[in-house]
Structure 1
Amino acid sequence: MFVKPQIFLSLLVLLLCFASLFLSAWIILPAPNMFLLTLAVGAPEVSPWLLLLNLLFLLLSLFYICRRQLQRLVCVFSLIGLLICGWVLVNIPSTQMQMAKVMKQGLGANYLEQIPSQVRAKMQTYPFNLVNFFRGIALGKMRYQKDILFASPGGLSLKMEVYQPPEVGKYPVVVVIYGGAWQYGNTHANSEFNQYIANHGYTVFAIDYRHAPKYQFPSQLDDVRTALNFICKHAAEYEADSEHMVLLGRSSGAHLAMLAAYQPDAPPIRAVVNYYGPVNLTEGYKTPPNPDPINTRAVLKAFLGGSLEELPNQYQIASPINYLTHPLPPTLLIYGSRDHLVEARFGRQMYESLHDSGNTAVFLEIPWAEHAFDAVFNGVSNQLALYYTERFLAWAFFRQ
């Protein structure tokens, strides 16, 4: 018995429509495991594509599905998907306005006027650009070096990548530290960001560090500090101005960036940028997220060598929030409201502690974003994050 072509087409549209709704649903659903976390991270960032996909299936249901029951089902699925995706896009203007307000509160109402006009001219013009979403953000030209050995602790080679502006000169330094639960990752992570920032007039050093559980804290911090000393010592070779240095990290890399910058004997650091990084490991162990797709307590045990009950002092020492006893570099914190690895409440807590201790800090929160939202470079969340990150960097380096 053969299925009529029109019925077959209707069933195929229904199946694809359901798949589109399934993907869209992870914009609002919390991911219970690492596999689904990938969908939860990516879905909000590609929501314009998903919106178009849901719209396409809605139109197909109206014109090409003959069975009324199937037509209604596809319409319902498509409309739900459209509403979910539309929630992200509708909230972009209000989120942008809130971020602009927070930046002025943290850095001063005239902070943009403190940035030279020739620097402002190179920045993204809009917090979110739909054309850039579909076409991609232009990275521009730059120079690139890899496999630069900076340390060999215990015979393990630690290397860095260097991204330089296209023209020879002397440039401010952005040190980038990758994330990965202190257990995995590499210096080439988020390379699009490094290329973009280098093209805009910064020398970018993407550095490596030893991984847990084989190497436990403070090995990772020691490696970051060693890398910073190497950069300062060899700055001239890489056209780097070591007196103008910012540390930028993601997740566990943001944790290391803050720890390194907040040490009393740290080299001159102009600012720190924290993308969704852990700041209070004690509280993180006590109150893990729910759901907890990476098993937070197991990750912290691997990193620190034991549980909170076994090593309470180690958890205290490894928490950046406990280093607010002296003046610290200005800090930009960017978190997603729907982050189920490092919840936004920790970023807010860090901001409040920095602010209350008299330090300059800015806390930006993206309502729809999950952890690692900037994995999609031209995605919705990263466009907002990039827009304000480059302004924060320029303010930190060039304010007059």
Structure 2
Amino acid sequence: MTQSDPTDNPPSGIGGKRKLALLVAFLASLWLPWILSLGGCFLSLWIVIPAPTLFLLPLGVGAPEVSPWLIGVNAIALVWVAMRLPSGWIYSIALGCSVLGLLLSLLPLIQIPAANARMAADMAAEFGQAVLTTEPPLPQPLRPQPFVWLDAFRGIQVPEVRIERGIRFATVDRVDLTLNLYRPLESGRHPTIAMIYGGAWQNGTPANDETFSRYMAAQGYTVVTLDYRHAPQFRYPAQVEDIQTALSFIQTQAEALEVDIQRVALMGRSAGAHLASLVGYGQSPFPIRAVVNYYGPTNLTEGYNDPPVPDPINTRAILEAFLGGNPDQLPQLYRDASPIHQIRPNLPPSLLVYPRRDHLVRAKFGQQLYEKLQGAGNQAVLLDIPWAEHVFDAVFSGVSNQLALYYTERFLAWALRELP
């Protein structure tokens, strides 16, 4: 009589665990496709649905930018549903959600060719063909294409640069105002981008959008990101005065900061673009070579009277906090604070970047500024991104920012080139 191997009859506890694991795996094979299908469809819906509240705004901003990822999620869900779920109402709903999600997630990508062709033609027509071929100050290659699939998944690579943060340029009303400095590894004076952050004039720091600052510094620019006092404690024109003070500091410290004061562009996003436009088109301590405006307010009176729908940040409350009242109470102040009313001939070349689905600063205000600049004989191009929402470039490797970055870096290389 032979003795049995104990491994032939595992204890009931082990067998129970195996059965439980098999049951969990079986249920997962049924429910995971369903969950993945619903989740992918839900996220993809925000490509076309505007966010009604500030809480939901990240979904409206991010969904178009991560659409390559959503394409993958929806495609996997579609295949999984077709292979794993039995026929029935659950199968039909899951299949429908996956198909809808896949179609929605394709929308930004199928619009890229037409948008890119229009942008390239407008840039060349306004600034000359050289704007598309001018090299940056250092031999850091420009982006080879307006959209690179690999970058959408791995991120845009940013080389090492020198960074100094928290350099105080003024103290006003007991508020220390600072700047951050991003420079290429090579020392010397470089063409310069003075950056102004957004945040509804109420929040933000010079560290905002640091990936962009590092990216441009690696191309051979000195990037100086500027601070300013915030509303509602400090109201307009305090913010403009602070930017002018920062530029005066840059002028006096140009050698130490490695700034070529003859080649400076002003750039801003949202509220920062508003300030960049006011200073670039108005009073600056030294001549500005170019202005780059990412979705900045341009006509504050009309912005108050015709806010976006939905209005997730309460535009009227933001403007009242910034200016101290409404347009009926302060008509001249609203006019003075509107870049569209500062337009005159012989202004620096302007690049305007506006997402068409913007529900914080309506795209029509970018169009109005562009037409006013052109009407006064100035050089300006409006890059209109059909599928994008406000602050789209917060997703640095996103679909919209890849396209905007492609033309922004070329515009800056052209505008800040050495003149003969």
TM-score in same-fold range (> 0.5): yes
The corresponding residue for 1:167 is 186
**CA distance, structure 1, for counterparts of residue 263 and residue 140 of structure 2:** 21
Task: Pick from 145, 162, 165 the counterpart of residue 143 of structure 1.
Answer: 162
The corresponding residue for 2:56 is 36
Counterpart check, 1:63 vs 2:83 = yes
The corresponding residue for 2:206 is 187
Residues 282 and 316 of structure 1 are in contact (CA less than 8 Å); yes or no, is this contact kept in structure 2? yes
Unaligned runs of 5+ in 2: 1-19
The corresponding residue for 2:333 is 314
**CA distance, structure 1, for counterparts of residue 107 and residue 308 of structure 2:** 24
**CA distance, structure 1, for counterparts of residue 410 and residue 284 of structure 2:** 27
Total equivalences in the alignment = 398
The corresponding residue for 2:149 is 130
Q: Which has the larger radius of gyration?
A: 2
Task: Pick from 290, 301, 308 the counterpart of residue 271 of structure 1.
Answer: 290
Change (3 A) 1:250 1:364: same
The corresponding residue for 1:106 is 126
Q: Which letter does structure 2 place at the counterpart of 1:246? A: A
**CA distance, structure 2, for counterparts of residue 260 and residue 169 of structure 1:** 26
Task: Pick from 260, 268, 275 the counterpart of residue 279 of structure 2.
Answer: 260
**CA distance, structure 2, for counterparts of residue 93 and residue 77 of structure 1:** 27
- What TM-score does the superposition give when structure 1 sets the normalisation length? 0.96
**CA distance, structure 1, for counterparts of residue 74 and residue 168 of structure 2:** 49
Q: Which letter does structure 2 place at the counterpart of 1:296? A: T
Deviations 1:49-82 (A, max 9, x none): 0110001110110112124322221111000000
Counterpart check, 1:247 vs 2:245 = no
**2:50 aligns to what SS in structure 1?**
coil
**2:71 aligns to what SS in structure 1?**
helix
Residues 170 and 177 of structure 2 are in contact (CA less than 8 Å); yes or no, is this contact kept in structure 1? yes
Change (3 A) 1:230 1:280: same
The corresponding residue for 1:289 is 308
Q: Percent identity?
A: 47
**2:60 aligns to what SS in structure 1?**
helix
Residues 216 and 303 of structure 1 are in contact (CA less than 8 Å); yes or no, is this contact kept in structure 2? yes
Change (3 A) 1:264 1:7: closer
Residue 329 (structure 1) shift:
0.8
The corresponding residue for 1:199 is 218
Task: Pick from 339, 343, 347 the counterpart of residue 366 of structure 2.
Answer: 347
The corresponding residue for 1:79 is 99
- What TM-score does the superposition give when structure 2 sets the normalisation length? 0.91
Residue 108 (structure 1) shift:
2.0
Residue 178 (structure 1) shift:
0.5
Residue 362 (structure 1) shift:
0.6
Deviations 1:295-326 (A, max 9, x none): 10000000000011110000000000111134
Residue 9 (structure 1) shift:
3.6
Residues 14 and 74 of structure 1 are in contact (CA less than 8 Å); yes or no, is this contact kept in structure 2? yes
**CA distance, structure 2, for counterparts of residue 34 and residue 389 of structure 1:** 28
Unaligned runs of 5+ in 1: none
Residues 179 and 224 of structure 2 are in contact (CA less than 8 Å); yes or no, is this contact kept in structure 1? yes
Change (3 A) 1:328 1:41: same
Which range is displaced more, 259-268 or 312-321? 259-268
The corresponding residue for 2:33 is 13
Q: Which letter does structure 2 place at the counterpart of 1:340? A: H
Q: Which letter does structure 2 place at the counterpart of 1:63? A: M
The corresponding residue for 1:381 is 400
Deviations 1:359-399 (A, max 9, x none): 11010001100000000001000001110000000110116
The corresponding residue for 1:359 is 378
The corresponding residue for 2:250 is 231
**1:90 aligns to what SS in structure 2?**
helix
**2:75 aligns to what SS in structure 1?**
helix
**CA distance, structure 2, for counterparts of residue 275 and residue 112 of structure 1:** 19
Q: Which letter does structure 2 place at the counterpart of 1:353? A: K
Q: Which letter does structure 2 place at the counterpart of 1:94? A: A
Q: Which letter does structure 1 place at the counterpart of 2:206? A: T
Residues 271 and 330 of structure 1 are in contact (CA less than 8 Å); yes or no, is this contact kept in structure 2? yes
**2:178 aligns to what SS in structure 1?**
strand
Residues 136 and 413 of structure 2 are in contact (CA less than 8 Å); yes or no, is this contact kept in structure 1? no
